[in-house]
Amino acid sequence: AAKQRNDGAVVYDAAMDKSSEKSLSLLTELRNAIERNEFRLHVQPKIMLDTGKVVGMEALVRWVHPERGNVFPDEFIPFAEQTGFIRVLTRWVMEKSAELCQELATKGYPLKISVNLSTRDLMDQDLPAKFAETLLRHKLAPGSFCLEITESAIMDDPVRAQHTLERLSAMGFDLSIDDFGTGYSSLAYLKRLPVNELKIDKSFVLNMENDIGDTKIVRSTIDLGHNMGLRVVAEGIESEAVWRLLAELGCDQGQGYFMSRPIPGDQLIAWLEKWQA
Q: Binds 118, which of ligand C2E, Ca ion, none (CB < 5 to 8 A, cut-off by type)?
A: ligand C2E
Closest CB 214 distance from Ca ion, rounded Å: 15
Residue 175 contacts residue 208 (beta carbons within 8 Å): no
Closest CB 14 distance from ligand C2E, rounded Å: 32
User: How many distinct helices (H) and strands (E) make up the chain?
Assistant: 12, 12
Closest CB 255 distance from ligand C2E, rounded Å: 6
Q: For residue 49, give the nearest of 270, 259, 214 by alpha carbon.
A: 259
Q: Cα torsion for 103, 105, 111, 115, to the nearest 10°?
A: 40
CA angle 260, 100, 268 (to 5 degrees): 25
Q: Which is closer to Ca ion, CB of 124 or CB of 178?
A: 178
Pairing of the two strands 174-180 and 263-264: unpaired
DSSP code at position 193: S
The residues that touch ligand C2E, with contacts defined as CB under 6 A, are 44, 59-61, 72-74, 77, 86, 93, 116, 118, 178-179, 202, 235-238, 255-257, 262
Closest CB 96 distance from ligand C2E, rounded Å: 9
Q: Which is closer to ligand C2E, CB of 88 or CB of 229?
A: 88
Q: Is 176 in the site for Ca ion (CB under 5 A)?
A: no
Which residues of this chain interact with Ca ion, rule CB under 5 A?
116, 148, 178-179
